[in-house]
């Protein structure tokens, strides 16, 4: 059901410093910041030959990233995103197997302009999983 790894998301306490580190120290291709108000984050994508890194920074007081950074002040891996061909079929299959979809189960549009869903980390070995329709 899952396809290729789309990205690994890292929550960061300083978005500019993290972007500069990837650009300067690692020589990566770093995109521009983009606000995602529906998800409460500002993101920057780093393009790699085989996947992407997504830097996450809180957008507003209600951002889910605020709580993550309070527990992990230096930042850290927040979630892993896998591609799926049909997000509704994937959601239905996962729910049938007992996996919990976060929110109301209706996909939202993600940072790539495609439908996304998140799966409860307690159902996936402590890892928050994002599914993105290709």
Distances from the Cα of 33 to the Cα of 43, 105, 112, angstroms:
6, 27, 13
Q: Which of 128, 124, 98 is nearest to 116 (CA)?
A: 128
- Residue 102 CB neighbours (<10 A): 14
Catalytic residue among 54, 83, 130, 132: 130
HEC sequence for 43-81:
EEEEECCCCEEEEEEECCCCCHHHHHHHHCCCCEEEEEE
For residue 61, indicate whether it is catalytic.
no
How is residue 119 written in tokens? Answer: 């799966």
CA–CA distance, 115 with 76 (Å, rounded to integer): 24
Residues belonging to the active site:
130
């Amino acid at each position: 059901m899952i396809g290729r790894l789309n990205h690994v998301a890292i929550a960061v306490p300083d978005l500019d410093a993290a972007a500069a580190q990837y650009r300067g120290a690692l020589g990566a291709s770093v995109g521009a910041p983009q606000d995602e108000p529906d998800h409460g984050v500002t993101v920057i994508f780093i393009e790699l030959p085989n996947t992407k890194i997504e830097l996450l920074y809180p957008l507003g007081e209600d951002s889910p990233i605020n709580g993550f950074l309070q527990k992990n002040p230096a930042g850290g891996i927040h979630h892993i995103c896998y591609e799926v061909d049909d997000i509704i079929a994937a959601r239905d299959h996962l729910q049938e197997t007992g996996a919990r979809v976060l929110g109301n189960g209706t996909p939202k549009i993600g940072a790539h302009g495609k439908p996304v869903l998140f799966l409860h980390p307690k159902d996936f070995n402590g890892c928050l999983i994002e599914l993105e329709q290709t």
